[in-house]
Chain A
Amino acid sequence: MGENTYRINVLNTGAQFLCRQDEYVLEAMKKSGCGPIHYGCFGGGCGICKMKVISGSYRVDKKMSRAHISPEEETDGFVLTCCIKPTGNLTISQI
């Protein structure tokens, strides 16, 4: 694991995969084949990849549709995984 690559744990399934800091979490999840994988538009619009970050740091790199992530939810760690990139190891959860 390089210094710019982080480990992503999926709480519900125990799945783990690696994600580079310049890579969207959903892209890495899809590439790893170890889901849970729900994906649609990859553009932050359709909302199908919504999950919750339980712990760890990340940055929102792309606008997430307010139809799916309210400002309160964003504060509480709800994300569209197609829009976030990790800045540390993450634990995420299906909702």
Chain B
Amino acid sequence: MALNGTLRPGLVQLRVLDFDKTLNFYKNILGLNEVCRIGEDRICLKGFDEFDHHSLTLRLADEAGLDFVAFKVASADELEKMKLAVEAFGYPVDTVAEGDQPGFGKRYGFTISTGHRFEIYSEVALAQKGPGIKNPDIWNEPPRGMRAQRMDHFLLYGPNIAEAERFCKEVFGMFVPEVCNTPDGNRLAAWITSSNKPHDLAFVEYPKPGKIHHLGFYLQDWADVGNAADWIALNRLKLDIGPTRHAITRGLSIYFWEPSGNRIEVYAGGYTAYPDNPQRVWDSSELGRGLFYYSGEVIPSFLEIVT
């Protein structure tokens, strides 16, 4: 449930190195549905339990990584107000015309301090094949593979996350349920939400701009995290860590790399966040326990590898 004018992260455009193994992963292993194609180089997908037109666009490119993340806001009026607020914050705004992505109305785009392109939009068509709404069943077609229900969140790496956090609070109206600080009191990481989810997005301080650590998709429960692990093993995907439990967000989780090298998390659970609850604060010395509650230890690949 959104608690303010920013509803949720609703669209991510990711760069991939091929449309062969990588597309097979997203469709048949992760379990997303292909919605449409844009020219020769973009393919749009969605989770079976998502209502909007699509939530993930894969763009064929020479390097892996993130093109942009886009947030859906509550109304056209809210969109115009937010555009002005972005400009007042100090970020120049450009316009992406309606129809750039099938189903989506006009989008406004800008680059934040971490080097990531953010976009906002209010209009998006409902998907032709969305969840039922009249005496609905739980799904229309049996979910495939890992049975990912929907896109959930992303972790972004870049410089000056303190400013990015301030932007999310002041312009997007989000709140910050959980943070991690270095011994000298600087922000190392922040988990930020516009809803009751423990995070819609998160940041980690990192010298290189515009990097993505992972894109997270939502699963039903712990049993589905185990099912995802089976699919990873069966398809010889490269596991990073898990199945495990986060103390931060309380999520049940597993991380691995898709065939183009972007890290994916599939995730279930997590606490219910409210903006009036006290903020949870982690010391960086305790980050191992925060990230991987069972082992209490961070593995180097998890902190160091991004695309």
Chain A interfacial positions (CB closer than 8 Å to B): 39-46, 48, 62-63, 65-68
Smallest Cβ distance from B235 to chain A, in angstroms?
A: 12
5 sampled A-B residue pairs with Cβ under 8 A: A41-B261, A41-B307, A45-B260, A65-B307, A66-B62
Contact of B260 among A40, A43, A48, A68 (CB under 8 A): A43
Specify which chain A residues have a CB less than 8 angstroms from the CB of B64 in the assembled complex.
41, 43-46, 65, 67
Q: How far is the CA of A64 from the CA of B306 in the complex (A)?
A: 15
Contact of B257 among A43, A65, A68 (CB under 8 A): A43
Smallest Cβ distance from A25 to chain B, in angstroms?
A: 15
Specify which chain A residues have a CB less than 8 angstroms from the CB of B63 in the assembled complex.
45, 65-68
Specify which chain A residues have a CB less than 8 angstroms from the CB of B62 in the assembled complex.
63, 65-66
Known: A63-B17, A66-B62, A66-B63. A42 touches B257 (CB 8 A): yes
Q: How far is the CA of A48 from the CA of B301 in the complex (A)?
A: 9
Specify which chain B residues have a CB less than 8 angstroms from the CB of A68 in the assembled complex.
63
Is B305 an interface position by the 8 A CB rule?
Answer: yes
Is B262 an interface position by the 8 A CB rule?
Answer: yes
Residue of A nearest to B258 (CB): A43
Number of A-B contacts (CB under 8 A): 69
B240-254, CB under 8 A of A: which get 1 and which 0?
A: 100000000000000
Report the contact-size class of chain B (Cβ under 8 Å from the partner): 20 to 34
Specify which chain B residues have a CB less than 8 angstroms from the CB of A48 in the assembled complex.
301, 304-305
Specify which chain B residues have a CB less than 8 angstroms from the CB of A44 in the assembled complex.
17, 64, 260-261
Q: Within residues 254 to 282 of chain B, which ones have a CB less than 8 A from any CB in chain A? A: 257-263
Q: How far is the CA of A48 from the CA of B179 in the complex (A)?
A: 28
Smallest Cβ distance from B246 to chain A, in angstroms?
A: 20
Q: Within residues 36 to 75 of chain B, which ones have a CB less than 8 A from any CB in chain A? A: 62-65
B1-18, CB under 8 A of A: which get 1 and which 0?
A: 000000000000000011
